[in-house]
Chains A and B, each alone.
Chain A
Amino acid sequence: MYVYQDYDQRLLEERVAQYRDQTRRYLAGQLSEDEFLALRLQNGLYIQRYAPMMRISVPYGMLNSTQVRKLASITRDYDKGFCHVSTRQNIQLNWPELADTPDILAELASVQMHAIQTSGNCIRNITTDEYAGVNPREIEDPRPWCEVIRQWATFNPEFAYLPRKFKIAVNAVPDADPALIGVHDIGVQIVHDHNGETGFQVWAGGGLGRTPMTGEVIGEFVAWPDLLAYLEAILRVYNKYGNRDNKYKARIKILVKALGADKFRELAEAEFAELKGGAMTLTRDEVARIKACFVDPDYRTDVDTSALRNALDEHRAFNRWYHTNTRAHKKDGYRSVTLTLKKTGRIPGDITDEQLEDVADLADRYAFSEVRTTHQQNMVLADVAEDELYELWRQLDALGFATPNLGLITDIVSCPGGDLCALANAKSVPIAEGIQRQFDDLDFVHDLGPLDVNISGCMNACGHHHIGHIGILGVDKKGKEFYQITLGGRGDRQSRIGEKMGPSFESHEVTSVIGKIISVYLDNRLENEPFISTYERIGMDPFKEVVYG
């Protein structure tokens, strides 16, 4: 993980002091609602349906066990004993008191955490592959580059009052998009030139929400020393020319679309030409300093896998979990373990204070004290020795974190929806629960194979419904809750926006519609063909016929 220097820590403490004073002035009536709004948002504080919601930053999803324990105590002391993992790898509290928020930030600062720029019209948390650094398919570790970008973005004085929020993601896997760069305002794809030097293919103009779209390649190859100059050029063009009259047209995707990728590129390249070679050019020393924070832990070389083989043969449930919830690691003898936070009946991504402490203990014992959050609202122990997997599984199972459904139909990604969110058109959690209850036979769920189901309570798309193989969107029809269904979205190999099926459904109809969609898949699939491939082969019509027929 990135290790703070004195100055990183001082910056956090000064931020807490600044925010404490702003909150005091607001409560004393010296700041208007609107003025305080912009300030509190940049400290992660939304005012929600029932209480403020506080979004805590988890830079590119990395936490250590000390931080996880701090989150547990904050959740217990300032909230109702649970928090929520968001689709941008952050942690959300749902019920903090406004007057407590400076103290919460001070507690976070004591473990090198914060809520800086987690909402508001500024550059948000930088996200990446949750298996970064251990993924055998990545060409290099993306996290040092995420950290380079994080520092440039943090309190960047020019880009704090953008037309709209701005999200950047970094991906280092060549043939897959685990960071969803295609649907980010800027997506950074790490590439190597023929000499093996790192460079970046820079995308811009992707985004979900209203008017979802995938981005365009703006910079074909940006040499690594120029990364920040290139990003600054894009941000300056956006800050100057992005739409500010209508918040629904204010994201960079609308600007890129309106100008066309070529014109946008021309503006960005002209700006880049001014900045290139200047003081923000990255140095080898600085990149080396940051890379040194992401070195491998002390991997054991004596991992004995014979016991694992036996356990896999003997325990069917363990075997199933192993194949579903753990994955290959770059280091022989190790695997990455995903804890699914998707127990039926619980809000997807929710976790309690005690569970956080359990996870921290397990991380200390089995995973070099490190925990990660994922954009599918799960958690990861990235480095677990194979000869400890069985023991870990037993403990996870007892804690309810071993549901073997990663990437399957019941591993649903969902926003909090109408139960918590003031912007919602409809509830999303009961819909998720309904689907989980309908598909409660694990054998059947496994037989269905990989299937992304994503639910959002309104078109803000917090639940990423556009990129679900099956996407469910809450809509409001004359004051009643309805759900629109899309098929064929993807957020795996590439990002693609799903296609609407047709008229929307009432809440009690949703589970049976999902059942019909699944039956069409089962009737049509070829051997070993996953849902998304069947859909791509046969198209929307057969599904429509059965669902609306």
Chain B
Amino acid sequence: MAKVIVNGEIVENTWQRLTSEELDQQDVPAEGAVIVPLAYWLAHRDALLERAAPVGVCLEPGEEPADLAADLPALPLVAVNFPAFKDGRGYSYARELRTRYGFEGEVRAVGDVLQDQLFYMHRVGFNAFEVRADRDIEEALNGLRPFSVTYQGDAHDERPIYRRQSA
């Protein structure tokens, strides 16, 4: 099974992510944790909530975290897709999920997820990373902590450095 970084540890990935193309062809399997697209979630919320196994939702660039806000208490996981690492919209989505909506479940980065972006991703609120399959996930772990100093607040501690220092 594929690996994923969750809370700084490399673990088995127990979630299956289904794309809208796949969901055009098949139903959500009865068993196992699944991640579905936002549109699918909005259309099938009640049925999905009936499932015994957990359901998470994946946001694509261009979609609004606000559309998920009301459902967040019922969700254990929100994934944010990065079709290309240079598309930085997902950073704002994670920050909104954590800081504005107070989401405490897993926020997972999926797609073009690479070592050199993990630190910033972590700071805006991602705690899980599906590192791109052709990269060494052990190496990628090094990307989580290149800096011991940060000037501005983030999803973990909203205080800027001068407030943290004097506290």
- Which positions in A face B, CB cutoff 8 Å? 7-8, 10-11, 14-15, 17-18, 21-22, 30-31, 35, 38-39, 121, 151-152, 154-162, 228, 236, 239-240, 244, 274, 278-280, 283, 285-286, 289
Q: Mark B33-44, 1 if CB is under 8 A from A, else 0.
A: 000000000000
Looking at the complex, which one of A17, A157, A283 makes contact with B91 (CB distance below 8 Å)? Answer: A157
List 20 extra interface pairs beyond A35-B116, A154-B151, CB under 8 A: A7-B149, A11-B149, A11-B151, A14-B148, A14-B149, A18-B147, A21-B142, A151-B151, A151-B160, A152-B160, A157-B91, A158-B95, A158-B120, A159-B91, A236-B92, A240-B89, A244-B61, A244-B87, A279-B153, A286-B160
Assess A289 versus B162: contact at CB under 8 Å? Given A152-B151, A157-B154: yes
A161 to B92, CA, bound (A): 10
User: Which B residues between 119 and 149 are near A, CB-CB below 8 angstroms?
Assistant: 119-121, 123-124, 139, 142, 146-149
Q: Are B85 and A10 in contact (CB under 8 A)?
A: no
Tell me if A283 and B162 are in contact (CB < 8 A).
yes
Tell me how far the C-beta of B121 lies from the nearest C-beta in chain A, rounded to whole angstroms: 8
Q: Are A161 and B100 in contact (CB under 8 A)?
A: no
Partner of A279, one of B92, B93, B146, B160: B160
Q: For residue A274, which residue of chain B has the nearest CB? A: B100
Bound-state Cα–Cα, A370 to B142, Å? 40
Per the bound structure, the CA–CA distance linking A11 and B119 in Å amounts to 14
Contact B100 A35 (CB under 8 A): no
Determine if A157 and B85 form an interchain contact, defined as CB atoms under 8 angstroms apart.
no
B114 at interface by CB-CB < 8 Å: yes
Cα-based distance from A323 to B142 in the complex (angstroms)? 58
Within B35-67, which residues are at the interface with A (CB < 8 Å)? 61
Task: Give the number of residues in B that approach A within 8 Å (Cβ atoms).
Answer: 38
A274 to B158, alpha carbons, bound, how many Å? 13
CB-based contact B152/A152 at 8 Å: yes
* Cα separation A21 to B92 with both chains bound (whole Å): 27
Q: Which residue of B lies closest to A235 (CB)?
A: B92
| A157 and B160 contacting across the interface, CB-CB below 8 Å | no
Contact present for B89 and A38 (CB under 8 Å): no
Question: Are A22 and B124 CB-contacts (below 8 A) given A280-B152, A286-B162?
Answer: no
The reply to whether B148 and A10 form a contact with Cβ atoms under 8 Å apart is: yes
B25 to chain A minimum Cβ distance, whole angstroms, is 28
Residues of A within 8 A of B91 (CB): 157-161, 239
Q: Which residues of B contact A17 (CB under 8 A)?
A: 146
Q: How far is the CA of A262 from the CA of B121 in the complex (A)?
A: 32
Residues on the B chain within 8 Å of A39, using CB: 116
Residue of A nearest to B119 (CB): A157
B88 in the interface (beta carbon within 8 A) = yes
Confirm or deny: B26 has a beta carbon within 8 angstroms of a beta carbon on chain A. no
Measured between beta carbons, the chain B residues less than 8 angstroms from A159 are 88, 91
Interchain CB contact (< 8 A) of A240 among B92, B161, B166: B92
Within the complex, the shortest CB–CB distance from B60 to chain A, in Å, comes to: 13
A252 → chain B, closest Cβ, in Å? 14
Minimal beta-carbon separation of B114 from chain A (angstroms): 6
Nearest 3 A-B pairs (CB), nearest first?
A161-B88, A279-B158, A157-B120
Residues of B within 8 A of A14 (CB): 146-149
A18 touches B92 (CB 8 A): no
| Interchain CB contact under 8 A, A35 and B151 | no
Which partner residue on chain B sits nearest A32 by CB separation? Answer: B114
Interface of A, secondary structure class, is helix
Contact B124 A158 (CB under 8 A): yes
B146 touching A151, Cβ below 8 Å: no
Query: Which B residues are CB-close (under 8 A) to A10?
Result: 148-149
A298 to B35, CA, bound (A): 65
Min C-beta distance of A457 to chain B, whole Å: 26
A121 to B84, alpha carbons, bound, how many Å? 14
Which residues of chain B are within 8 angstroms of A151 by Cβ–Cβ distance? 151-152, 160-161
What is the CB-to-nearest-CB distance from B21 to chain A, in angstroms, rounded to a whole number? Answer: 21
B residues within 8 A CB of A158?
Answer: 88, 91-92, 95, 120, 124
Interface centre among B86, B154, B163 (most CB of A within 10 A): B86
> Are B158 and A280 interface neighbours, CB within 8 A?
yes
Across the interface, name the chain A residue whose C-beta is closest to B122: A157
Bound: A7/B152 CA distance, A? 13
Q: For residue A251, give the distance in angstroms from its CB to the closest CB of chain B.
A: 15
From residue A117, how far is it (CB to closest CB) to chain B in Å? Answer: 12
B124: A residues at CB distance < 8 A: 157-158
CA–CA, A375 to B87, complex, Å? 31
Q: Which residue of A lies closest to B165 (CB)?
A: A7
**A161/B123 in contact, CB under 8 A:** no
Shortest B143–chain A CB gap in Å is: 9
Distance in angstroms between the alpha carbons of A161 and B83 in the assembled complex: 13
Alpha-carbon gap, A45 to B162, bound state (A): 31
Given contacts A38-B86, A161-B85, A279-B159, contact A155 B153 (CB under 8 A): no
A289 to B162, CA, bound (A): 10
B87 touches A161 (CB 8 A): yes
Contact with A along B74-92 (1 / 0, CB 8 A): 0000000000011111011
Q: Which residues of A contact B119 (CB under 8 A)?
A: 157
How long is the Cα–Cα vector from A546 to B86 in the complex, in angstroms?
50
A16 to B98, CA, bound (A): 30
- Are A11 and B87 within 8 A (Cβ)? no
Given known A-B contacts A161-B86, A286-B162, A156 and B152 have beta carbons under 8 A apart:
yes
Q: Would you list 10 pairs from A and B whose C-beta atoms are within 8 A, ordered by A residue?
A: A10-B148, A18-B146, A152-B151, A157-B150, A158-B92, A158-B120, A160-B88, A244-B87, A279-B163, A289-B162
The reply to whether B158 and A239 contact each other, CB–CB distance below 8 Å, is no
Q: Which B residues lie within 8 Å of A240 (CB)?
A: 89, 92-93
